[in-house]
Structures are given as structure tokens and as C-alpha cells.
Amino acid sequence: MSLDGILTSRGAGDGLRRLCGLVALALVVALVGFGLSAPPRSDPRAEVSDLQLYARIIDRVRDGQPYDAVVVKDLRAVGGAVRPFVTVRPPLLAMAMAALPDVSTRVLSVRLLAVIVLAAWALRWRGAAPAAWYRWPLLAALSSGLAMALAPQAYLMHEVWAGLLIALSLALRRREQWLAAVAVGTAAALIRELAAPFLLVMTLTALLERRTTEALGWLAGLAVFALALARHAAAVHALLLPTDPASPGWLVAGGWPFVLHAASWNLFVLFLAPQALALALPLAMLGLASWRDELGRRVALTVLGYLAGFAVVGRAENFYWGLIIAPLWPMGLVMAPAGLALMMRWIRNADAPTPPARADPDPI
């Protein structure tokens, strides 16, 4: 893999590059300024009650009770909404946790997955970066998001599992070896339907790179997800009553404050003032946008796509959705200096041509 090519873009002329640099700089400054004036706030309604509900559901499924009926019954008992069907989480995680003997084993399982993700990325970077400087900062940035899996109740959170599996899928994907990545990415979507856009990103990226066979593989993953979701919808609808309450809509347009709140699931951010995230996230976005090889493209499109989605979809209490990209976005901070250098080069309108990007050889 080549990271020394991230300062590239022999493009449409110095004038256009200068304009792009100025726009990027203005966007970063605007996002930082708006974030400083409206920092993310902690939501007083923590998910404790929901997590307790999930724990009870797992125990009942382990006792042999049908998942969908148990969830609908319990939601009714606490006055929760059961319409539309997506208010009932997909059954895969509960069934998997119910198959494990006790809570300690379940806690260990999600922590073990986090270790596997870290190891997969370490192997991906081994011998791949042009300078050893990149490897350890990238792993440290990744670890700051993986740390969320160490929480005692992390095994109950679908978004934690989905985020870990998305990160693992990206690490496993190679130019000619993508079947394992498709399988892991599909598992993420089966655990939490919010992970399905990742499959779409990978499909579109493969199509843009004219990798038709790989694109068909990701489309197959989307088809498996769609079939599972249809089965889940039918099972839930069969249990609904006319009197069952409906959930409020999720198309809220919370904007940049909600995006910052969703991105706050990070070990470093927990110990910093909220204003620090308002500075870090725009820089990370710039860094990801400047990461130009095959892996970087996929990480950037995944993170930036989710952040754009969070700007328009999600109620205030849904900020935990950010766990889906918690392991990924901090890596953009490592790339931020290169992104800033590229932006300043465009603004200065340097006459010297930039070196062409080298293709990612995917040596491992």
C-alpha cells in the first residue's frame, strides 16, 4: 500500500486547485467554528434501560422463547414503540449471545472481536506503509475507537458489533481477496440494519474501479441482508396490534451538533473538552478525504457517508449510532497533516506538478 501518494492530484489546472483549496479551508474553519459555538452535549437519557431490556431478551431467548414475540411483548410492557418494524432489532445478535453460556463469556466475545480487528489492521499495515511512522499512529487512532468494546455492557449494543465488523471487513478486503470481507460486512448488516449502507459503499466503489466480480459479491451480501430484513419485517408485522404505538420519525436534520455528538464515542474524546472534538473531527474528515489509495478510499467514503447521513437522520437520543464508525474516523487525524499540506499547496497555486498517485499493490 502506498501512503506517500496521498499528496496527489494532478487535476484540472492551478485555478481550480486553488479554488478547491480555499473551499476546503473555508469548510474546515466553518465546521470548527460552529462546533465550538455548539459543542456536543451528553444526553441525560442514557441507554441503560434499553440495555437492561436487551439483557432480559437474551435470557428469554436462551430459555427457548421466540425472539420476535419476546421483544414485542417486552416493548409493550414498558410502553415502547413497536412500529415500524425496525424498532425491533434484528434477531442475530440476541440469538448469538443466547448461545453463549453466561454474561462473562458474552463480554469476552466482543472484546475478543476488538482484539481480532486490531490484529487484522496491524497485519494489513505490516510492510505496507512507505514509512514506519504511519503504522503505529494509525493503530493508536483505531484503538481509541475500539476501546468502546471494553465497556461491560458493550456486548448488548448492536452498534458496537456492527462497527467492529465493518472495521474488520475493511482490513480483510484485498484487491483479489474480498470474499471474507463480504461475509464479515454482511454479518454487520444482519446484526444492525444501519450497517447496510457500508455494503452499498463497497459495491459502488468496486463498480467505479471496474471490479465487476467483486461488485457482484457485495451485491450478493446486500441481497442476503434484504431477504433477512424482509423475514424480520414479516415476523414483527404478524405480532402487531392496531393499538401498538409508533415511533417518531428519524428524519430530524440534527445537523453538525448531532454529527459531533455521534462522533464522541472515542477514548481520547472522553477525556477532552467537547470543543476539542469540534476541532478534531473536521481535521479527520480532511485527512480521510486526502487518503487516496484503495483502502483509504473505502474508509473515507464509509466515514464521510455516515457523517453526512447523521446530519439529516437520527434523533438526539440516537447519538450512539456513531459507534458504527467509532474505530474508523480517528484514523483521519493521522492523515490530517497530509490533507492540510495538499490544501495549502492548492491555495498557493504551486507551479510544480505533484507526483502521480501510485496504485495500491495490496502486498498482503
Backbone angles phi, psi at 249, to 5 degrees: -70, 160
The three cell numbers of residue 173 are 478486503
Distance between CA 2 and CA 131 in Å, rounded? 10
Distance between CA 359 and CA 2 in Å, rounded? 7
Buried b (16+ CB within 10 A) or exposed e, 234-265: ebbeebeeeeeeeeeeeeeebebbbbbbbbbb
Helix (H) or strand (E) holding 290: none
Instruction: Say what the pTM is.
Output: 0.85
Distance between CA 145 and CA 323 in Å, rounded? 8
| 131 secondary structure, DSSP code | S
Do residues 57 and 67 touch, judged by C-beta distance below 8 A?
yes
Q: List the pLDDT tens digit at each of the 364 positions of the chain.
A: 444 443 344 444 455 445 444 444 445 444 444 444 454 444 434 444 788 899 999 999 999 999 999 999 998 888 888 999 999 999 999 999 999 999 999 999 999 999 999 999 998 887 555 456 678 889 999 999 999 999 999 999 999 999 999 999 999 999 889 999 999 999 999 999 999 999 999 999 999 999 999 999 999 999 999 999 999 999 999 999 988 889 888 998 889 899 999 999 988 887 777 778 888 898 899 899 888 788 989 999 999 999 999 999 999 999 999 999 999 999 999 888 887 877 777 677 654 444 444 444 443 4
The pLDDT value recorded for residue 132 is 60
The pLDDT value recorded for residue 179 is 96
C-alpha atoms less than 13 angstroms from C-alpha of 286 in its C-beta half-sphere: 28
Residues comprising the chain, all counted: 364
Q: How far does CA 243 lie from the centroid of its chain? A: 36
Do residues 98 and 58 touch, judged by C-beta distance below 8 A?
yes
Distance between CA 343 and CA 194 in Å, rounded? 33
Number of helices and strands in the chain (H, E): 15, 0
